[in-house]
């Protein structure tokens, strides 16, 4: 746990972002918690966002929980920082979209943790499929540009022209 003095220093060094996108693009933010009271505050911040669409409430909530979500995502995607950032953005976008449904939860960190795991699994699956498609495309390209194929084409070209000429 971070000592109270270092929390103050950390808070002083953190610049509070103005909007949602800047929060999600700044993955170096840290947060300090005072236990149960912080959990209640998180729930209240989410209620304010759900009720009033308060960007400042959502920004504060995202700032507090950004490290949690990012660290879960980073572990789940095998250390790929870019994929972890994508997962983190997805989780906070889902939180914003589902704010009304989740506003009554007193403990939001569990939902964020599980959402980060699910989103990371989806991203890893999508990334694996993308790599497989790219590999398949590369293999097809290498096969089609094979010199043996050009030699075969030279054999078939006169026959093809002859057969097409007979169709008239």
Predicted pLDDT at 140? 81
What residue spans of 77-103 are helical by DSSP H? Answer: 81-97, 99-102
**Averaged in consecutive runs of 10 residues, what is the pLDDT profile of the chain (168 residues)?**
37 38 47 46 90 92 95 96 96 95 87 96 94 88 65 77 80
Q: Report CA torsion sign: 60, 62, 65, 71.
A: negative
Distance CA 24, CA 85 (A): 8
- Alpha-carbon Rg for the chain, nearest whole angstrom, is 26
Predicted pLDDT at 39? 42
Global pTM? 0.61
Asked whether 71 and 87 are in contact (CB, 8 A), the reply is no
Predicted pLDDT at 5? 36
Predicted pLDDT at 28? 43
């Amino acid at each position: 746990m971070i000592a109270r003095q270092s929390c103050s220093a950390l808070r002083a060094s953190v610049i509070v972002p103005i909007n949602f996108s800047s929060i999600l693009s700044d993955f170096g933010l840290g947060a300090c918690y005072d236990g149960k009271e912080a959990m209640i505050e998180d729930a209240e911040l989410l209620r304010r966002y759900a009720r009033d669409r308060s960007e400042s409430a959502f920004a504060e909530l995202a700032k507090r929980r950004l490290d949690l979500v990012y660290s879960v995502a980073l572990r789940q995607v095998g250390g790929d920082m870019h994929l972890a950032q994508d997962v983190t953005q997805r989780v906070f976008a889902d939180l914003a979209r589902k704010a009304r449904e989740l506003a009554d939860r007193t403990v939001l960190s569990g939902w964020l943790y599980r959402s980060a795991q699910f989103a990371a699994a989806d991203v890893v699956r999508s990334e694996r499929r993308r790599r497989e498609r790219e590999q398949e495309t590369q293999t097809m390209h290498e096969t089609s540009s094979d010199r043996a194929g050009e030699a075969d084409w030279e054999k078939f070209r006169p026959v093809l022209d002859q057969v097409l000429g007979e169709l008239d």
